[in-house]
Amino acid sequence: MEAVIFSGIQAAGKSTFYKQRFFDTHLRINLDMLRTRNRERLLLQACIEMKQPFVVDNTNPTVVERARYISAAKAAQFRVVGYFFQSNPGESVRRNAERAEKWRVPVAGIYGTAARFEALTFSEGFDALYTVRVSAEGTFIVEEQLRDGV
């Protein structure tokens, strides 16, 4: 049983990464699709109850926002893995402009999320942490973060 929590500004590659790495194994919980926190909460609860591996594909910029998923998963004895999508706002604004118009995020929203961002740490309850970057060629580079720099 695994809970994967994505964190990163909009247009950093989170949904594409989900499709490439987790589509066949983990259910996707995404507020953009579900539209309300109540629907999100119900789907999270269903995943927990069914012991269904899931990915939370939201920006999750703060410790408080991530805590709702981590605490629920930990209480059900899920392994909790965090992925930080490293992207500067300028890169995200460029990728955002390439999206279909209905999926574009206001530029101010990208910068606002970046300003609120708090780094992921093991002390939040993560069992493993990874940093994800998009290469110049458009591929994902994933690096595991080690505890205490070891």
Please state, in angstroms and as integers, the Cα–Cα distance from residue 145 to each residue in 53, 55, 119, following that order: 22, 19, 12
Yes or no: say if 141 and 149 are a contact pair by the CB < 8 Å rule. Answer: no
In the structure, what pLDDT confidence band is assigned to residue 147 with cuts at 50, 70 and 90? confident
Yes or no: say if 73 and 51 are a contact pair by the CB < 8 Å rule. Answer: no
Residue 149, pLDDT above cutoff 80 = no
Residue 148, pLDDT above cutoff 90 = no
Place of tokens 């703060």: 62
Residue 150, pLDDT above cutoff 80 = no
In this structure, what token pair is assigned to residue 43? 């789907």
pTM value surpassing 0.75: yes
